Amino acid sequence: MNVIQLNDKIFEPFITADEIQREIRSLAKEINESYAGKKVVFVAVLNGAFMFASDLLKEITIDCEITFVKVSSYKGTATTGRVDELIGLTTKLRDRDVIIIEDIVDTGITMDKIHKIIELERPSSLKICTLLYKPAAHEGVHKPDYVGFSIPNAFVVGYGLDYDEIGRNLKEIYQVRETKSENSMLNIVLFGPPGAGKGTQSERIIEKYGLVHLSTGDIFRANIKGETELGVLAKSFIDKGQLVPDEVTIDLIKSEFKKYSNPKGFIFDGFPRTNAQAEALDAFLQSEGTAISKMLALDVEIDELKARLKKRAEVSGRADDANPDVIQNRIDVYIAETMPVKAFYQEQDKFVKINGLGSVDEITGRLFAELDKI
Ligand code: IMP
Ligand code: MG
């Protein structure tokens, strides 16, 4: 399961198709046992419950009937105000064992209305079976009797449930991803090949937006200089133009991140460099209650990069800038392992390409324009 986008929102995998089916089997077992020897009338609420009702009924082994209703509320007379009715309720429910099938009980207002109307038919028993239940949102009188999953108070789609009528066809259930406005940190991934100008531009962004700069390269180089254990390890990879292993880099980012108590946000420079790192970063930020706001990717052609790196070697004193073979290797690694990270953020609709050619000021202007939009 992957992150998906429906209209303007991003949804994250929440409940797999297998988990849904397993839970449905266990719900059906409970119902089969409680109603053994009886005949049940299921009243499924359209549209959302169509898929759940279908799969649940396949597992029901006692005698049963099913009917489908829709809740409608229309304007009655001036004195009665809004009137609720169940469209399609033609099956006689008097003195029968009735189970309402719903996809989701949220505030419970809809369920209370349905319950009230069905009670007027005087069934001998009336129970509620819902696939999903949000206890924290519930304000209703009638709590569901059979619950597939109790879930947090966040919007979900899939498996019959919709977001503005889309997403009903999904086999799985997805949960909406919190948007930036719900967490105030500005976290930027500054992306681009070696020599694209990430370091230079980071400094300017930090100054204007008050962000913390997390450059894995800078941290590694400081450690190499200090001849720390981490430095020695990192050096063995960096000098060859290779990436430091993901676990080492990810742990480093986590411990750096935790050093700041109330940051406005971070600018990640030179990280994540692989999809594994990007996934680990997402999971970590989520556990910290935040997320990446945008990836700004500086776009520079390979020939221009080589020229820039050669020039930088004259002043940077970096061994990995001086050797053309090492430069070539860094670019190869970038194309093979780092470029795919773009797609990772593209999928989340967070990827912005920035033209990396022009004067330093011009490029800064382009970056600021994007950052101001967030
Ligand atoms: P209520 O708040 O329990 O009355 O729920 C009203 C209706 O809102 C439900 O029957 C669903 O159709 C819809 N709904 C509530 N929560 C969600 C959700 O997380 N995803 C999709 N639809 C929902
Ligand atoms: Mg519904």
The answer to whether residues 117 and 85 touch, using CB atoms and an 8 Å cutoff, is yes
**What tokens does 161 get?**
């449930």
Q: What is the pLDDT at residue 82?
A: 67
Buried b (16+ CB within 10 A) or exposed e, 7-36: eebbbbebbeeeebeeebeebbeebeeebe
Q: Is the CB of 105 under 6 A from ligand 1?
A: yes
Confidence of residue 180 (pLDDT cuts 50, 70, 90): very low
Residue 89 in this model has a pLDDT that exceeds 50: yes
pTM value > 0.85: no
Q: Please state the rounded mean pLDDT for residues 67-86.
A: 76
Which of the two residues, 83 and 309, has the higher pLDDT score? Answer: 309
Confidence of residue 178 (pLDDT cuts 50, 70, 90): low
The answer to whether residues 168 and 47 touch, using CB atoms and an 8 Å cutoff, is yes
Q: Is the CB of 110 under 6 A from ligand 1?
A: yes
Q: Please state the rounded mean pLDDT for residues 148-169.
A: 95
Q: Is the CB of 166 under 6 A from ligand 1?
A: no
Burial, 176: exposed, middle or buried (Cβ in 10 Å; 0-12, 13-18, 19+)?
Answer: middle
Crossing angle of helices 246-257 and 229-238, rounded to 10°: 130
Confidence of residue 80 (pLDDT cuts 50, 70, 90): low
Q: Which atom of ligand 1 lies nearest, measured to the CA of 161?
A: 21
Of 308, 330, 350, 366, the catalytic one is 330
Residue 366 in this model has a pLDDT that exceeds 90: yes
Minimal-distance CA residue to ligand 1 atom 6: 110
Residue with tokens 């992957």: 2
Of 96, 134, 221, 273, the catalytic one is 273
Q: Please state the rounded mean pLDDT for residues 113-139.
A: 96
**Percentage above 70 pLDDT, the chain:** 96
Q: Please state the rounded mean pLDDT for residues 205-226.
A: 91
The DSSP bridge partners found for residue 245 are: none
Residue with tokens 């030179």: 270
335 membership: H or E segment, kind and range: none
The answer to whether residues 322 and 312 touch, using CB atoms and an 8 Å cutoff, is no
Residue 289 in this model has a pLDDT that exceeds 70: yes
Residue 265 in this model has a pLDDT that exceeds 90: yes
Q: Please state the rounded mean pLDDT for residues 350-365.
A: 93
Minimal-distance CA residue to ligand 1 atom 20: 156
**What tokens does 38 get?**
């009886």
Average pLDDT, the chain: 90
Q: Please state the rounded mean pLDDT for residues 176-192.
A: 77
Which ligand lies nearest to the CA atom of residue 136 in the structure?
A: 1
Q: Report pLDDT digits (tens) over 9-47.
A: 899 999 999 999 999 999 999 999 999 999 999 999 999
Residue 8 in this model has a pLDDT that exceeds 90: no
Confidence of residue 83 (pLDDT cuts 50, 70, 90): low
Quick check: is 204 catalytic? no
Which ligand lies nearest to the CA atom of residue 113 in the structure?
A: 1
Which ligand lies nearest to the CA atom of residue 168 in the structure?
A: 1
Residue 260 in this model has a pLDDT that exceeds 90: no
Quick check: is 198 catalytic? yes
Quick check: is 312 catalytic? yes
Q: What is the pLDDT at residue 332?
A: 86
Range of weakest confidence among 75-84, 86-95, 149-158, 309-318 = 75-84
Which of the two residues, 150 and 326, has the higher pLDDT score? Answer: 150
Task: Report CA(257)–ligand 1 centroid distance (Å).
Answer: 38
Q: What is the pLDDT at residue 181?
A: 43
Q: What is the pLDDT at residue 323?
A: 83
Minimal-distance CA residue to ligand 1 atom 16: 106
Alpha-carbon distance of 168 to 165, in angstroms, equals 7
Other C-beta atoms lying within 10 Å of the C-beta of residue 92: 10
Q: What is the pLDDT at residue 182?
A: 46
- Name 199's Cβ contacts closer than 8 Å, sequence gap at least 6: 215, 217, 218, 269
Which of the two residues, 313 and 180, has the higher pLDDT score? Answer: 313
Residue 177 in this model has a pLDDT that exceeds 90: no
